[in-house]
Amino acid sequence: MMFFDQILQGIFLGAYYALIACGLSFLFGVMRIINLAHGSIAVLSAFLVLSLAEHFGISPFFALLLAVPVMAAAGFVLQRTILERSLRSGPLTPLLSTFGLAVVLDNSMFQSFGANTRSLAPNIGDLSFAGWSGPGGIEVGQLAVLTLVVAVALLSGLQALLTYTPLGRAIRACAEDPETAELVGIDARHVYAAATAIALVTVAIAGTFLAMRSTFDPYTGPTQLIFAFEAIVIGGTGSLWGTLIGGIVLGVAQNLGSQVSPQGFLIGGHLAFLLVLAARFAFAGRDWRGWFGVRSRAVA
């Protein structure tokens, strides 16, 4: 039963990883950029939501509603100032510039908010510990279930946006071939900026859940980036439901690892990631179709 419980908790943890991963995956799918500042931006939005919640004395969920337009605007600015310019200078430049941005963000947050670890858990009352008891002493936290529901809703929402809306079709067209997209009247710059704004909205949601379910500090970002990246790669780069499955595999592997040793939590996750990669290389050539329907080009 202990074992079963660990798997169950791993699934809920995986739902958080799917949340944090979907923005990274989305941006990669649209622009072929891996944003190395992704985790730092998630922590930044966690600080934003925390500050709003404390300043106005409101629930973090209301604070998130206020943070969403701010992060969307930040996404627009990020695209116009950094990503667009990077994209023009070749495939390596986005990595260099977003890594530089991550260093700036992490240390600026340290400068502004100090080294103390923070959490939104005190701001959400019962939600942080309340749960339901199941048969065999299994406990299911309300926040964990909420995370899973939000993750599924967010991924479905993104899928629906891409499939059924004009903006979604324009995003897919640009993801596949930006030059031809321009030839059917699409302003690729505008679409990219909109896509980055959408990605940062998902990051704001993920950052809020990060802050509600655990503690964070200004240097938590890189770890979140690594978890998000591992979830994406395990699930198959750029695949929608793959991201959720990847997150769950990662969460379960970490939880099982933690049963072996205190450091096993992280080691278990990294090993699962490496094993999946090794398996993929062994079956090279068979690739997943991502949520843009394009074969993931960046995978060898």
Geometric angle at alpha carbon 261, from 255 and 263, rounded to 5°: 80
Contact, 175 vs 196, CB < 8 A?
Answer: no
Question: Rounded to the nearest 10 degrees, how much is the dihedral formed by the CA atoms of 198, 200, 206, 212?
Answer: -120
Using CB under 8 A as the binding rule, whether residue 117 contacts other proteins is answered as no
DSSP three-state, residue 230: helix
CA distance 132 to 143: 11
CA distance 280 to 287: 8
Using CB under 8 A as the binding rule, whether residue 80 contacts other proteins is answered as no
- Exposed e or buried b per residue across 252-290, where buried means at least 16 C-beta atoms within 10 angstroms of its C-beta: bbbbbbbeeeeebbeebbeebbeebeeebeeeeeeeeeb
Q: From the list 46, 230, 236, 244, which residue makes contact with other proteins (rule: CB under 8 A)?
A: 230
| Site for other proteins, residues 159 to 198, rule: CB under 8 A | 166, 169-170, 172-173, 176-177, 179-188
Nearer to other proteins, 161 or 169 (CB): 169
Using CB under 8 A as the binding rule, whether residue 77 contacts other proteins is answered as no
Using CB under 8 A as the binding rule, whether residue 274 contacts other proteins is answered as yes
Among 27-35, 51-59, 71-79, 129-137, which window interacts with other proteins (CB under 8 A)?
Answer: 27-35
Using CB under 8 A as the binding rule, whether residue 299 contacts other proteins is answered as yes
Chain-centre distance for alpha carbon 7? 21
DSSP three-state, residue 295: strand
Q: From the list 65, 95, 121, 161, which residue makes contact with other proteins (rule: CB under 8 A)?
A: 95
Nearer to other proteins, 108 or 214 (CB): 108
Q: From the list 13, 22, 34, 148, which residue makes contact with other proteins (rule: CB under 8 A)?
A: 34
| Contacts to other proteins by CB under 8 A | 28, 32-34, 36, 82, 85-86, 89, 91-97, 99-104, 107-108, 110-111, 166, 169-170, 172-173, 176-177, 179-188, 222, 225-226, 229-230, 233, 237, 261, 263, 266-267, 270-271, 273-274, 277-278, 281, 284, 289, 292-294, 298-300
